[in-house]
Structure 1
Amino acid sequence: MSVTAPDDETAKVLRAWNTQAAVYDRQIAFFERIWFGGGREWLAARARGRVLEVAIGTGLNLRHYPDGVTLTGVELSPAMLAIARRRAADLGVDADLREGNAEALSLPDESFDTVVCALSLCGIPRPAAAIAEMRRVLVPGGRLLLLDHIGSTWPPVRAAQWLLERVTIRTAGEHFTRRQLPLVTAAGFEIVERERRKAGTVERIHARK
Structure 2
Amino acid sequence: MTGSDVSRETRRQLRHWGKHAESYDTQIAKLERSMLVGTREWIGERATGRVLEVAVGGGRSLPYYRKGVSLIGVDLSPAMLALARRRASELGMDVDLREGNAEALPFPDASFDTVVCALALCSIPRPDVALTEMARVVVPGGSVVIVDHVRSSSPLIFAGQWLAERFTIPLEGEHLTRRHRDEVEAAGLVIVEEERLRSGAVERIRATRPVTS
Task: Please report how far the alpha carbon of residue 30 of structure 1 lies from its aligned counterpart in structure 2 after TM superposition.
Answer: 1.6
| Aligned-pair CA distance for 1:160 | 0.6
Aligned twin of 1:35: 35
Question: Post-superposition, which runs of at least 4 consecutive aligned residues in structure 1 deviate over 6 A?
Answer: none
Q: Helix, strand or coil: the match of 2:51?
A: strand
Map 1:18-97 → 2, pairs under 5 A: 18-97=18-97
Cα deviation per residue 1:32-58 (whole Å; 9 max; x = unaligned)?
111111011101111010000000000
Matches of 1:195 and 1:136 in 2, distance apart? 24
For residue 196 of structure 2, what is the amino acid of its counterpart? Answer: R
Q: What are structure 2's unaligned runs of at least 5 residues?
A: none
Residue 125 of structure 1 corresponds to: 125
Q: Give the Å deviation of 1:194.
A: 0.4
Provide Cα deviations, 1:142-195, integer angstroms capped at 9, x if missing partner.
100000000011111111101101101101111000001110011111111101
Match of 1:170 in 2: 170
The 1-side partners of 2:15 and 2:35 are apart by 25
Write the distance in 1 (CA, Å) between the matches of 2:172 and 2:23.
Answer: 15
State whether structure 2 residue 10 is matched by structure 1 residue 13: no
Shift of 1:25: 2.0
Point out the more displaced range, 21-30 or 192-201.
21-30
Q: How high is the TM-score relative to the length of structure 1?
A: 0.97
Measured in 2, the distance between the counterparts of 1:80 and 1:8 equals 19
Structure 2 distance, partners of 1:187, 1:136, is: 9
SS in 2 for 1:207: strand
Q: Which residue of 1 aligns with 2:151?
A: 151
For 2:34 and 2:2, the matched residues in 1 are separated by: 37
Deviation (angstroms), 1:123: 0.2
TM-score normalised per structure 2? 0.95
Alignment length (residue pairs): 207
Aligned-partner Cα distance in 2 for 1:44–1:28: 17
1:156 counterpart letter in structure 2? L
Q: How does 1:111-122 map to 2 (within 5 A)?
A: 111-122=111-122
1:51-100 alpha-carbon deviations (Å, 9 max, x no partner): 00000000000000001100000000100001101111110111110001
* Counterpart residue type for residue 200 of structure 1: G
Distance 1:153 1:24 in 2: 26
The one-letter amino acid paired with 2:35 is W
Give the root-mean-square deviation of aligned CA atoms: 0.8
* Structure 1 unaligned residues grouped into runs of 5+: none
